[in-house]
C-alpha cells in the first residue's frame, strides 16, 4: 500500500474496470504541469457516468454538499479512489478508516495539510453482472464516510482552508 510505496508518485484506483485507462493521460499531464494531488471527478461537466447507481449518486452528492458546507471550501468529488499524488502528500496523513471510507480520508486529509486536489473529469462505467458484484453498499459504508467528515471537520475547526489562486476544475 501507500506505506510501502518507493516511487515519487502514488496512483490509487479501483481494479474492476470502471475507469477508462486512456483518461489517466490527463492525470499525468496535470502532474507534469506541477500539480501534486490529482483526483478523478465523476461529477464535473465533462464527466461521463454509465449505469451509475442512483442511490450512490444521491449519497455522493449529499456527502459533498456536507463537505462544502461544513468545511467551507468547494470540492466536487474527493471520495473517488482514482487519485495520483506525490508520495509525500499521502504518506504524511494518518489513514485510520477501514474499507471504502478510506477514500474520503485520502481525498480530504491532504487538504488539511495544504495539498488541494486538482479534480480532473473522468468516465465511470459500472461493471456488468459477468464481472461480479460490487461490495459497496451505501447504507453500510455511509457511517464511515460521515465519521471521516466529522473527524476532518474537527481538525479543520478554527483554520482557514483556502484553495490557492488558480485552483480550478480542469475541463469545466
pLDDT band at 135 (very low <50, low <70, confident <90, very high): low
83-116 pLDDT per residue, tens = 999 999 999 999 999 888 999 999 999 999 999 9
SS3 67: helix
Q: Give the strand pairing for 123-125 and 37-41.
A: unpaired
> How much is the mean pLDDT over the chain?
86
Dihedral class, residue 10 (left if φ above 0, else alpha if ψ from -120 to 50, else beta): beta
Which single residue is written with the C-alpha cell 453482472?
Answer: 129
d(CA 117, CA 35): 8
If we measure between CA atoms, which residue out of 39, 168, 169, 57 comes closest to residue 104?
39
If we measure between CA atoms, which residue out of 120, 117, 125 comes closest to residue 48?
125
pTM: 0.87
Amino acid at each position: 500500500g501507500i506505506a510501502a510505496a518507493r516511487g515519487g508518485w502514488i496512483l490509487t484506483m479501483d481494479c474492476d474496470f470502471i475507469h477508462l485507462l486512456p483518461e489517466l493521460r490527463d492525470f499525468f499531464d496535470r502532474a507534469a504541469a506541477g500539480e501534486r494531488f490529482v483526483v478523478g471527478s465523476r461529477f464535473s461537466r465533462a464527466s461521463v457516468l454509465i449505469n451509475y447507481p442512483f442511490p450512490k449518486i444521491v449519497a455522493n452528492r449529499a456527502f459533498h454538499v456536507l463537505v462544502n458546507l461544513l468545511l467551507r471550501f468547494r470540492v466536487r468529488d474527493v471520495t473517488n479512489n482514482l487519485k495520483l499524488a506525490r508520495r509525500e502528500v499521502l504518506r504524511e496523513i494518518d489513514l485510520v478508516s477501514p474499507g471504502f471510507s478510506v477514500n474520503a480520508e485520502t481525498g480530504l486529509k491532504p487538504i488539511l495539510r495544504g495539498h488541494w486536489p486538482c479534480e480532473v473529469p473522468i468516465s465511470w462505467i459500472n461493471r456488468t453482472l459477468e464481472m461480479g458484484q460490487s461490495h459497496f453498499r451505501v447504507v453500510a459504508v455511509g457511517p464511515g464516510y460521515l465519521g471521516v467528515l466529522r473527524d476532518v471537520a474537527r481538525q479543520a475547526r478554527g483554520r482557514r482552508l483556502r484553495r490557492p489562486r488558480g485552483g480550478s476544475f480542469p475541463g469545466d
